[in-house]
Amino acid sequence: MTDLHMTIDGSRAPTTSTFDVINPATGQVFAQAPDCTPAQLDQAMAAAQAAYRTWHRDEKLRCELLLMASEAVLAHTERLAPLLVREQGKPLANARQEFSSAATWLRYYAELEVPREIVQDDAAGYAEVFRRPLGVVAAITPWNFPISLAMWKIAPALRAGNTMVLKPSPYTPLTTLALGELLQEIFPAGVLNIVTGLDPLGEMITAHPTPRKISFTGSTATGKHVMRSAASDLKRVTLELGGNDPAIVLDDADPAIIAEGLFWGAFANSGQICAAVKRVYVHESICAEVVDVLAELAGKVRIGDGMLSTTQIGPLNNKAQFDLVTQLVEDAAHRGARVAAGGAALLGDGYLFRPTVLSDLDDGVRVVDEEQFGPVLPVVSYRTVDDAVERANNSRYGLTASVWSSDPERAALVGLRLETGQVSINAHMGGVRASLPFGGAKWSGVGVENGPWGLASFSETQVITGPSRI
Ligand code: NAD
């Protein structure tokens, strides 16, 4: 496993020093990843800069190569998915989904029609708005979806004509390196450079003079550092940050019908999804019943090593996250919450935590107010819809939300009152698609990814005017 190298200028960069990569199912080091030096980062930026000169000039070629990349990702899924399981922890079936989603994003951007924006075309003159690529862009990604979230950046950035230097999380560097090795066979040298290293490498990237944009996905705290650092030379930023996403269950919802959707909205990927349900507000008339159905599902779900075919929920990715989740559950229990399911880690050396449902708690308890990013769902009872909406909005975060009801129109009217980038009705994360804008309000982010909006975020407008059509 130690033979994965950084991809700089289309070739394998020599490894001078390395850092440990841990398998979250065992808590043991299982591989080493290359630690990028400042000189290697300069080399990656210079390679991207050189490649930009020709890459941005041939859109047809870019679309063809994105399609080839989509096919290559699909063709190599079976080889690469187990590596993702070993460094990230997720079940193998979900690791495969990351690759199929990455292939979908590549195909979407290869095939996206970008209409011309002609504002004037008459006897008096001509005016058209063009989108110019930015040049070299940098991407920094987190550990929860290393492949699909990297592709939310790679596909639109390259389609728009930019070249890229991408740094994955130090917890999950290996699959992204393997992706880089695969794609270096397709893209010209220097178009996509993957560098790995610890967090200070992220700071070196945001402070580097070459990239004109930083596209960042990660925590709100780091996002603020990125924005501050980028401001010094006015780099553009897109920030996809943390969330504390509310679900509101109205009094007319049927607990048995909504249970599965609500449960997986909170517990998929062990709850390590920025847009997972992180707190659920349930009308007091059905709250006990909703707690019971969620607790029953939590008790039945199979947790374990993601490589086992029976596993539905894998471990938390790393010790820091495991410790945070443990602390938040202990704090809630200490503050009087009832542990309706789970409540503790599974014995063993890895980072497995039992799916946990908490009830009899309120806003003001840490697990309700903070982003737990783990397999823990606090269920909070409310009396009036106005109260539920106010409490859902009473957060620094505003990523996504969902409303559950037997009357979808009623639910949608409640949804429109929520201060979030997306709202799903009778589902959670229903809007996570290549074609729809994804981004957060308030502290959940700046800007959006995906769709034509995501493509536009990797460009700047240029107006051409003249006496006649160009
Ligand atoms: P993190 O902020 O710790 O790290 C994210 C990336 O930033 C990593 O690659 C890290 O090495 C790098 N980094 C760390 N310090 C840096 C610095 N000073 N400058 C530049 N880069 C730096 O986040 P994480 O723990 O990897 O991810 C979990 C968080 O990400 C959660 O809060 C989650 O909600 C959020 N997230 C958001 C989205 C979204 O689309 N909104 C998606 C996934 C995850």
* Distance of alpha carbon 144 from alpha carbon 165, whole angstroms: 20
Cβ proximity of 357 and 377 under 8 Å:
yes
* Distance of alpha carbon 133 from alpha carbon 212, whole angstroms: 10
Q: At a CB cut-off of 8 Å and minimum separation 6, what does 387 contact? A: none
Burial (CB count <10 Å: 0-12, 13-18, 19+), residue 140? buried
Q: What is the pLDDT of residues 126-156, one digit of tens each?
A: 999 999 999 999 999 999 999 999 999 999 9
Which of 19, 98, 195, 199 to mutate for ligand 1's pocket (most ligand atoms within 8 Å of CB)?
199
Give residue 98's pLDDT. Answer: 98
Question: pLDDT band at 296, cuts 50/70/90?
Answer: very high
Cβ proximity of 403 and 414 under 8 Å:
yes
Q: Is 242 in the pocket of ligand 1 (CB under 6 A)?
A: yes
Which of 198, 217, 272 to mutate for ligand 1's pocket (most ligand atoms within 8 Å of CB)?
217
Compute the distance from residue 467 Cα to the ligand 1 centre, in Å.
49
Compute the distance from residue 217 Cα to the ligand 1 centre, in Å.
5
* Distance of alpha carbon 235 from alpha carbon 215, whole angstroms: 10
Rounded to 10°, the helix 174-183/59-75 angle is: 130
Cβ proximity of 434 and 108 under 8 Å:
yes
Q: Given the CA of residue 445, which atom of ligand 1 is nearest to it? A: 41
Q: What is the mean pLDDT of residues 288-315?
A: 97
Give residue 289's pLDDT. Answer: 98
Residue with tokens 């019971």: 292
* Distance of alpha carbon 279 from alpha carbon 277, whole angstroms: 6
SS3 348: coil
Q: Is 217 in the pocket of ligand 1 (CB under 6 A)?
A: yes
Compute the distance from residue 372 Cα to the ligand 1 centre, in Å.
14
450 Rama class: left (phi>0) / alpha (psi -120 to 50) / beta = left
Which of 431-437's residues contact partners 24+ apart within 8 Å by CB, and which partners?
Answer: 431/400, 432/275, 434/104, 434/105, 434/108, 434/109, 435/108
- Over 90: is that where the pLDDT of 163 sits? yes
Q: Is 449 in the pocket of ligand 1 (CB under 6 A)?
A: no
What are the C-alpha distances in Å from 321 to residues 87, 196, 261, 276?
14, 21, 25, 15
- Over 60: is that where the pLDDT of 245 sits? yes
* Distance of alpha carbon 350 from alpha carbon 191, whole angstroms: 38
Q: Whose CA is nearest to atom 4 of ligand 1?
A: 218
Tell me the H-state helices in 208-286: 220-231, 255-267
Q: Whose CA is nearest to atom 11 of ligand 1?
A: 199
Question: pLDDT band at 4, cuts 50/70/90?
Answer: confident
Q: What is the pLDDT of residues 180-205, one digit of tens each?
A: 999 999 999 999 999 999 999 999 99
Q: What is the pLDDT of residues 11-56, one digit of tens each?
A: 999 888 999 999 999 999 999 999 999 999 999 999 999 999 999 9
* Distance of alpha carbon 14 from alpha carbon 407, whole angstroms: 60
Catalogue the active-site residues.
Answer: 240, 274
What are the C-alpha distances in Å from 310 to residues 141, 185, 223, 294, 371?
29, 35, 37, 20, 28
Q: What is the pLDDT of residues 391-427, one digit of tens each?
A: 999 999 999 999 999 999 999 999 999 999 999 999 9
Compute the distance from residue 168 Cα to the ligand 1 centre, in Å.
9
Averaged confidence pLDDT in the chain: 97
